Structures are given as structure tokens and as C-alpha cells.
A and B are shown apart, each in its own frame.
Chain A
Amino acid sequence: MGYDDSAIDTTNVTENFDFTGKASEYFSIWIVNVALTILTLGIYSAWAKVRTNQYFYSNTYLDGASFRYTARPIQILKGRIIAFAIFMAYYASSFVSVQMTIIILGIIMLLVPAFVVMSMAFRLRNSVYRNVRFNFDKDFKQAYKVFIIPVIFIGAYLIVAAQMQSIATENPQENLILSIIVMVLLLSIFLMFPWWEYMITLFKAEHSKFGGANFSLTATLKNYFGMYAKGYGLTMLMFAGLGIIVAVLIPMMSSSEAPDAMGVFIPVVIIVFALPVYLWMFAYFQTKRTNLIYGNLVIQEHKVQAELKVGAMMLLYLTNTLAIMFTLGLMMPWAKVRTARYKASVMSVLVAGDLGQFVSTQAEHQSALGEEIGEMFDMDLGF
């Protein structure tokens, strides 16, 4: 890959990421994982996760060397059991009362920053490249500083929304006040979201390390507001266009013979026009977010580069979704492998001189708890 060991110069060389996994190979691994997980009533799932991660890490090469995933299944199993217990408590509380759910949800929300830190530390410290570990500074204090405002706003919104549902108040004035509070909360969450996402990403990036070296992020707050402004602006334009199409088509359709045609027509319009808009929005944010993070990571003098394209991602998501849906999940390995291959193909590192200068540090054992809880509650803790 254009790399010469003996060269002693500081010219920049672009090293591409390379993913060598194959759908057929991963299918075998995946199906054996699922079968063993079913036969062991879920216990094997921890081993399955390790094997899956090992497959994807070890098939990813940079400058001729592979990445390694070194977590032990037993650590993951412990985390899974605790996460499952918390999840069950949360689920069972919904039977008991709304108040109970709010309390448990509140406790979980307060623990989110700690879970994020633990999860990042577990994942990074179990990632190895060139026999040097990645690392994460467990700065809980800073994590709470970064997360406190989002947690308060989102928590307040969840609680007020739950109250609105549960209290069947006859007082219209009280209802109006609650509705106004919900609107104000939603609007402020909406407006502050880019700032929060930027702060959280910055926190995660700047506490990440490879060996003894810190990562830094060159993306700016402006980038994040720009991403959301463009994303929401274009979405609104597309929906406005959709509205015009429907407004033009409805009079045409209703003049036709069949009176029941409207019942068929509306869902068809939604599927034909609204789904692509939704798909575009999803692909747009995934693509831009990945590019903003991975395209702006710097470590020592080396720059990570990411150039994902919205169109390619849209096509990837569409074909993956259809394939998985129509094979009842059997094509999932294929979908995962081709997604990994595409992402690797558009990512690279602009190497300043040599990647051999990083110094290794000692690793400690990390609990898998944070990561497993994050997964249970469907948060994207990845960065």
C-alpha cells in the first residue's frame, strides 16, 4: 500500500482502511452463533458477541496490520446479566404505576453519563492495533458536566409528557399550561441538540487515546449546527413538495369512479413519496455524522479521513433493508459485511511519516456493564 519501512522522511502518505470479510464466511459464523445461543438459552450470546467483533475487527486492516478485539466473553456475560435485570425492573415498573416508571427512568437517566464513560472505556481498552491498546480516560466529572443539561431537559420532557397522559384533568387551563411546557421543552431540545451532540462527541474524542497519545477533534460547533440546519431544511422542502403533489392528485382521484380509491391512494402516496424522504433523512444524518467525527479526528500529526456519500448510503440501507426483510433475517450477515466494506473503502489515514511512533501503556480490566446497558436501552454509544 505504498508504504516503505526503511524510508525516514516526514512526507504525508495516505493509508486506506481495508475490509477483507466475506458474506459467506460471516454467514457461517453468525448462524452457528445464533444456533448455539438458542441451544444455551442465551448464555452463548456473550461468546457470540466476542466472535462477531473479532471477525469484524480482525478483517479491518490499516497499513498491512489488523485490528484486534480482546474482550473476554465472561466479562460481557456479567454485564449482560446486570443490564437484563435493570431492563426487567424498568419493564416491570410499567405494570405497577406511571410514578414507578418515572422514578426508575430518572435513576437510569442520572446514570447515563457513567454508563457512557464505562462503555467507551470497555470498548476502547479492548481494541488493539499493532500490539498497542486504545484507551479512554475515565473522567466521570467531566462526563456529568457535559451530560447534565441534556439529561435535565430530556428527563423533564419525559416526566411532563407522562404526567399529561396519566392525569385525567378536567381543568382546561391546567391542560393548556402542561401543553405549553411540553412545547417549550421540545423546542429547546430541538434547538440545543446540535450543541449537545457536539459537546458529547468532543468529550468522547478528546478522552480517547491510542497508547499514550490523545485524539483531538477538529470539527466545530458551526459544523454541527450546519448539519442539522441543512438536514431539517431539505427534509421540510421535500415534505412541502410531497404536500403539493398530494394536493394536486387528490382532486384528480376523487373525481374518478371508485369511491373507495382514497383509502388505497393515501397509503400508496405515503409509501411512494414519504419513505424515500425518511430514508434520505436517515442516510443523510448517518453519513454526515460519521464524516464529521471520523473525518476530523487527529492523533499526533496523523489525520483520519472519512468521505461517506449520502447517495451510496441510501442505496446501501434500502437494499439491506429489503434483503433482510424478504429473507426473514437470513441476509443480515451479507448486509453487515457490505456495510463494513463500504465504510472501510471511503476511510483512510493521512499518515505523517510513520505509524510506528506510538507508545504503549498498561491496560487495566474494565467492566462490560456500561456497554451492555447502553445496548439494552437502545442508545448509540458508538462514536
Chain B
Amino acid sequence: MISGFYFDGKTSDKKKSTLQYDDQGNIRISDTGADEIHISSIKISSRLANTPRYLNFPDGSLFETTDNDAIDKLVATFKPSFLNGVLHGLESAKTAVIASVSVVILFGWVLIQYGIPHFSKEIANMLPTEASQYMGQGVLEIMDKNWFEETKLSNKKQNELRLLFSQLLEDVEESGHYKLEFRLGGPIQANAFALPNGTIVFTDELINLAENNLEIAAIMLHEAGHVKHHHSLRSTIQQFSLAMFVMVVSGDVSTSSSIVSAIPLMLVESGYSQKMESEADSFSLNYMLKHNINPIHFVTIMEKLEASYSNSYDDCMEDSKEDTKHNNCLKEAIEEKKKNIDGKNLTDYFSTHPNMQKRIEKFRVAK
């Protein structure tokens, strides 16, 4: 005897009643006036934790009960089937739950560590160059409007660097659409970056930091590495895949954009970005080694670049433009900065670029 509620399906009226069955599986609900009926024509909802079970009768009426064990017994006796209760079996077995936790953690880790980066690399390589071209459209115009000013470099210097750029690219495959641009950085300071369409932008400030053109060449190669490996396209695909992954795991779209997932997502994305920086570094280093350019030029320019963001550097610039004093001051700034960037900081995990000391070290030891 199983107690529960009976609903006739015509109104919301609730009748307290009991369900009884005989050896043949004939079912009778007491106090309802309903006819006896065989279990084969009843649809019984499958078990879900301890939520109530619903027995649907062909006439649209329903019996609802919280006596899960009794219903399980009824089903096992008269309607045994493999599928019935498989999910509940998984959900209530400790081993299955532990296995699920392992699957989620393992697959999640493999997917984030290898799957997504690999997948986006494949897709980016498959897409025609036009995809990247479209992406870069208008980016430089927007930056020009908001931050940049026209370059103050002399025409002679510009031509010299353009010549260097085209000489470097002679040995890079499919580099026909690469372009070099100069801008006065202003708030962007000393910097260089690559747009997805192959335009590489240098700020005057960065050019002025360099003592010789080989230092600039080292950076040009780094930026060319970004273009060569479709990094903009890849990071777009990675961000998208990551959002899809969070959506699938949480079963809820809003989570992928909410504050809850913000920090983990930031960590993963900065990890991806660091990988790409390393890839661009490797491209530059390999090229330099192959063409007998001393990798130390990369070290020198990166140290100067890093120091240029510190306060003491600004003081140097104000001090004087007189060569020896200026250079000494700069060296001090570099030394000071070096002290600060030794070791791994917490902020490294959130940074878009790998630890500077580690990056430089690779070039320093390369022979």
C-alpha cells in the first residue's frame, strides 16, 4: 500500500488516497472511483533523488507519492528494464559521482591546457588570410583618433627602418601583406604592436630608446611572430571556446559573463596570452640565431623598454639629454627595475606577458 495524492486531471482538486496492487500487477487507487488498471498502461516517472514520483494514467489522471522505495519495488517487480533508473543509479552511487568529479576536473584541465589552444590554432591556420584582414579593419583608425599623433621621425630614419623591415621579411614566408607604421605614442608611451592584418606599429618613443637598428629588428621580429602565428584570431577563438566551456559546465549562460567566473577566466586568458608572447619571442630568437644576429639586442631593448615605464626614467629624461649623464641615469633605472622584477610575483599570473626576467634570460643564454 502506497499513500499519496490523486489528481483527476480535470480540475486541480487534490484527493488523499492510497495505491494498491496485486500479484498480476493490477493497480487500484482507493477512494477515487477509478477502475482497476494494469501497470503496463501506466507511465511512471523515473527516479530523481528524493523528489516525488508521478504515475500517469491513460485517462489523464495522476497519482503523486513521495514513497520512492515502494515505487522502485513496484517497477522492479513488474517493469524491469535496464534504462529505468540508470541515471538515478549514477547519481546515487558514490563511485560514479567520484568518477564524474575526476572526469570533469581531468577533461576540464586537458581542454583548457591543450584542447582549446590546439583547436584555435588549427582553426586559425585553416581560415583564409582574409579573416585576419577583416578583423584588423579600422583598429588603427580608432587608435589614431583616440591616442596617437603623427610620427615626428625624420623621413630618412623612416626609410632606413622600412628598408630594414623588408630585408628582414625576405626570409619570412607569406609576409607580403606585412606593413610598417610609425606613430607618436603619447599616452601609449614606448611600445610596438601587431594588428591582425599584418600592420606592425612602432611608437616614436620606442624607436628613440634603441641605440642601433638591430635592437629595433629584434622587436620587429617579435611582432612579425604575432602576425605569422595568427595570434589575434587565435585569442578571439580561444575566448569564445572558453565562454562556451563555462556555459556547458555551469549549464547557465549568464555565468560566463558574471563576476563569479571573472577571476578564473582572467587567469586562463592571461595564461594563453603569455604562451603567445613566448611563441613570438621564440620566432624572433630563432630568426636571429639563423641569421647571425646577436640575441643580446633583444635583451638590451627589452630592459630599456621595461625601465622606460618607471618613474626614475622620467626623471632621467628631464635631467639632461647630455649623452654620458643620460646613459648613466638610464643604466641606474634599468638596474633598479631589475631588482623589482626578480622572482615570480602574484601579479605574474594575471599578466598578459610572461615574466620579463625569464623572457630576457632565454635570449641571453642563446648562442
- A328 interface residue, CB < 8 Å from B? yes
Within 8 A of B (CB), among A144-194: 165-166, 168
- Taking a contact as CB atoms under 8 Å apart, the answer to whether A360 and B9 are in contact is yes
Interface string of B319-335 (1 = CB under 8 A from A): 00000000000000000
- With contacts A29-B91, A65-B64 known, is A168 near B142, CB below 8 A? yes
Residues of B within 8 A of A328 (CB): 264
Question: Is the beta-carbon distance between A32 and B9 smaller than 8 angstroms?
Answer: no
User: CA of A27 to CA of B257 in the docked complex: distance in angstroms?
Assistant: 23
CB distance from A167 to the nearest CB of B (A): 9
| B240 CB contacts on chain A under 8 angstroms | 91
B195 → A minimal CB distance (Å): 14
Interchain nearest-CB distance for A354 vs B (Å)? 8
Known: A259-B311, A359-B10, A378-B253. A34 touches B260 (CB 8 A): no
A357 near B11 (CB under 8 angstroms)? yes
Candidates B13, B49, B96; contact of A25 at CB < 8 Å: B49
Quick check: A132 and B12 within 8 Å, CB to CB?
yes
Tell me whether B92 is interfacial, beta carbon within 8 Å. yes
* Interface mask (B164-178 → A, CB under 8 Å = 1, otherwise 0): 000000000000000
User: Which B residue sits closest to A335, measured CB to CB?
Assistant: B260
Q: Are A168 and B260 in contact (CB under 8 A)?
A: no
Chain A at the B interface: mostly helix, strand, loop or mixed? helix
A137 to B92, CA, bound (A): 40
- From A63, A131, A210, A211, B62 is in contact (CB under 8 Å) with A131
* Distance in Å: Cβ of A317 to nearest Cβ of chain B: 10
Measured CB to CB, the closest approach of chain B to A41, in angstroms, equals 9
Q: Are the CB atoms of B259 and A321 closer together than 8 Å?
A: yes
Contact A48 B251 (CB under 8 A): yes
A34–B8 contact, CB under 8 A? no
Least distance between A83 CB and chain B CB atoms (Å): 10
Give the size range of A's interface with the partner: 35 or more
Q: Which residues of A contact B61 (CB under 8 A)?
A: 131
Q: What sequence of 0s and 1s flags, for each residue 43-61 of chain A, a beta carbon within 8 Å of any chain B beta carbon?
A: 0010011011011001100
Given A91-B240, A357-B12: A38 and B103 interface contact (C-beta under 8 Å): yes
Q: Does A311 contact B (CB under 8 A)?
A: no
Contact between chains at A28 and B263 (CB < 8 Å): no
CB atoms of B248 and A38 under 8 A apart: yes
On whether the beta carbons of A66 and B64 are closer than 8 Å, the reply is: yes
Determine which of B7, B263, B311 lies in contact with A325 in the assembled complex, contact meaning CB atoms within 8 Å.
Answer: B263
Shortest distance between the CB of A94 and any CB in chain B (Å)? 9
Pairwise interchain contact B52-A32, C-beta atoms closer than 8 A? no
- C-alpha spacing A64/B163, complex, angstroms: 83
Q: Chain B residues with Cβ under 8 A from A28's Cβ?
A: 49, 91-92, 97
Contacts of A34 in B (CB 8 A): 100, 104, 248-249, 251
Most buried by A among B8, B92, B248: B248
Q: Which of B104-146 contact A (CB under 8 A)?
A: 104, 107-108, 131, 134-135, 137-138, 141-142, 144-145
> Is the CB–CB distance between A66 and B52 below 8 Å?
yes
Find the A residue at minimum CB distance from B262.
Answer: A325
Nearest CB of chain A from residue B123's CB, rounded to whole Å: 12
A-B contact pairs, 13 of them (CB 8 A): A5-B14, A26-B49, A28-B92, A32-B90, A34-B249, A34-B251, A45-B248, A131-B8, A131-B60, A325-B264, A329-B264, A357-B11, A359-B10
4 A-B pairs besides A29-B49, A360-B60 with CB distance below 8 A are A26-B49, A34-B248, A131-B64, A165-B142
Nearest 8 A/B pairs, CB to CB: A131-B7, A58-B51, A35-B100, A168-B141, A356-B13, A358-B12, A130-B12, A131-B62
